[in-house]
Amino acid sequence: MRRLLLLFSTVLFGLSATAKETYLYIEKFTDFEIGHSFKVYDVKGTEIKSATATVQYAPGSTANKCLFVKTGTTPGYVELDIPDGLTGTKVTKSYDRIYMQLRYESGNTAAKGTNLKVLYGSTESFSGASGLNEAGKFVGQNYTTKSVSSFKKTVRIGLEAKNAEYYIDNVRYVNVYGYDINDETQTARYWADKLGKNIGCCISPNQISGSGRSVETFYKNFNMLVGENAMKMDATEPGNNSFNFSQGDQIVNFAKAHNMKVRGHTLCWHSQIPGWIGESNSGSNPKGWTKKQLMDILKNHITKTVQHYAFNVVEWDVVNETLSDGQSGNGYNLRDNSIWVKVIGREFIDSAFVWARRAADAVGDYNVKLYLNDYNVDSWNGGKTKAMYNLAVEMKKKGIPIDGIGMQTHTNIGYDLAGVETAVRKFQEAGLNCIFTEIDVKASNTASGLKTQAQKYEGIAEFVCKYDISPTMVVWGIDDNHSWIDDHETSVPLMFDPDMHAKQAYLSVVDMFKKYAEAAEAAAEVDDIEFDEDGLQKVEEKVDVYTLTGQKMASGIDRSEVDALPSGLYIVGGRKVYVK
Ligand code: XIL
């Protein structure tokens, strides 16, 4: 072996406008001595002794080494090792393309216009791009990989050309998706699972069928689903006391099959109500329901829906979007264009939560969490956020069974993360959960738009990692073409592009979850809890304090001094501690 340096698995990252490509070099030929030869085989795998493949300098350059191939009366294919730790089966699952640079000289045009062949063994061969038409320069050639069923440690490549002379350089596998969907440690789901957090996506039943990349993108990257429309009242109760749960059931079944959770959206909303009740987005009452009748309708709807989905839905948006826009921040105002607000009045909110809780408890589903959900309630600098707080706190004080509030988070690159964190803490102090339920971040499809967008997604992920009261973040659509935001041309609000390539936003979310999960593991290792001879936990008088990201803040301080730390979350003696 005359390889000078054994340098396998060189992974490089390149950045395109929408997604990050990952490369894995098979061979750059830089680590071989000039004159090193590779074996050449025919299509059936028999060695062709008369053909040669030797490492040379690229024509006209002593800085760049490449492979010079000379074939005889049959086309020959050069055998290269697949980088360490990988096999033909693994690479074709994880990489979508083989890319290499090829070149022929004007003096020998036998290579011109011939097909590229990529072979795994003698049985699995794929023909690829032709079009090597310009002499005297390296031309990049891409070939889409197909799956290889058998275990292979080598790959053979070459042009389907007889009596040809040509050069090969920079042979690499390319992952256009930006991450390896088959390596679970590269997915948000994996790290969110470790932290016990929910990373979710909305879905419609028509997106569930099939087995392609888009379906995989749902269940490999997310551990929670929510029906985009499937559990809304117009879908679930199309006639008075006539229920149809088929769409929601499809989502629940898909989620079960992939070990995912489901959040329910939504039990009571002024929009997407069935025609037999009245008009959506309207305070009018065309059917002339009395207050009592409408309360009975709502109670029946909530009870039957909650009980149908008992144990299969972990969180419900009980009431959606009941606040009006434009709030002063003092008290709260309810929207006018809602039949619930207009005919029943303020008490429909409390009643809806009580009915939902009773319905769940009656069938033993004590764990389902009940949320008040709305848009534009994220930053503490916004009046509507304070209105949300005022309403939720009022309910909580009255003993209404509300577990928390949902920030829909339909937003843009101006999202005020600092103001949001203040709000999260306010809800925390009030004993309420605070989750992110319908995230989309409008941004232009430019490098700077996508970068800022990624920062906003990352910031939200950090809140979810950091705060125990924030168990859930859900994006409102899988990719930029499946978004209710209709200016698809100018705005790309989600974490995947329409070809399911991960955008920077997704990769930032993965990194954030990973950072916290690894820090939590490290902190748990640092401080093993000890027990005394009576089996009681020993309380260490001296403790080490870490930030949530694993940085040591203080060592060996008295436990009593912990309260004097700046307000925030810490790991003290292996446990998360919130200092007010
Ligand atoms: C949207 C859906 O995405 C659309 O498909 C549908 O046509 C209208 O509703 N706030 C909510 C969601 O609570 O239910 C909305 O979903 C988006 C705004």
Whole-prediction pTM: 0.78
Tell me, using a 6 A CB cutoff, whether residue 320 lines ligand 1.
yes
Residue in 27, 315, 321, 365 annotated catalytic: 321
CA dihedral (282, 333, 392, 313) in degrees, to 10, reads: 10
Distance CA 49, CA 52 (A): 7
Note the Cα 49 to chain centre separation in Å.
51
Residue in 237, 403, 438, 480 annotated catalytic: 438
In terms of Cα–Cα distance, which of 318, 32, 342 is closest to 169? 32
DSSP of 427-490, one letter per residue?
HHHTT-EEEEEEEEEE--SSHHHHHHHHHHHHHHHHHHHH-TT--EEEES-SSTTS-S---TTT
pLDDT in tens, the chain (580 residues): 445 443 333 333 333 344 567 788 899 999 999 999 999 999 889 999 999 999 999 999 889 999 999 999 999 999 999 987 788 888 877 787 888 999 999 999 899 988 888 888 776 666 665 667 889 999 888 777 777 888 889 999 999 899 999 999 999 988 888 898 988 999 999 999 999 999 999 999 999 987 788 999 999 999 999 999 999 999 999 999 999 999 999 999 999 999 999 999 999 999 999 999 999 999 999 999 999 999 999 999 999 999 999 999 999 999 999 999 999 999 999 999 999 999 999 999 999 999 999 999 999 999 999 999 999 999 999 999 999 999 999 999 999 999 999 999 999 999 999 999 999 999 999 999 999 999 999 999 998 999 999 999 999 999 999 999 999 999 999 999 999 998 877 899 999 999 899 999 999 999 999 999 999 988 877 655 667 777 776 666 788 888 877 778 888 888 878 888 888 788 887 777 878 7
Contact yes or no for 469/442 (Cβ under 8 A): no
Residue 277 token pair:
């009740």
Contact yes or no for 237/272 (Cβ under 8 A): no
Q: How far is the CA of 375 from the centre of ligand 1 (A)?
A: 11
Those residues with Cβ within 8 angstroms of residue 322's Cβ, 6 or more apart along the chain or in another chain: 270, 334, 335, 338, 340, 341, 349, 372, 374
Q: Whose CA is nearest to atom 5 of ligand 1?
A: 484
Contact yes or no for 228/202 (Cβ under 8 A): yes
Using most ligand atoms within 8 A of CB, pick from 207, 225, 229, 247 the residue to mutate for ligand 1.
Answer: 229
Give the ligand 1 atom nearest the CA of 375.
Answer: 10
Contact yes or no for 108/119 (Cβ under 8 A): no
Based on the residue annotation, tell me whether 458 is a catalytic residue of this protein. no
Distance CA 68, CA 398 (A): 81
Distance CA 465, CA 516 (A): 6
What are the φ/ψ torsions at residue 39 (nearest 5 degrees)?
A: -80, 150
Q: How far is the CA of 225 from the centre of ligand 1 (A)?
A: 15
Tally Cβ neighbours within 10 Å of residue 69.
26
Contact yes or no for 462/549 (Cβ under 8 A): no
Q: Which stretch of DSSP H or E encloses residue 84?
A: none
Distance CA 488, CA 483 (A): 8
Based on the residue annotation, tell me whether 347 is a catalytic residue of this protein. no
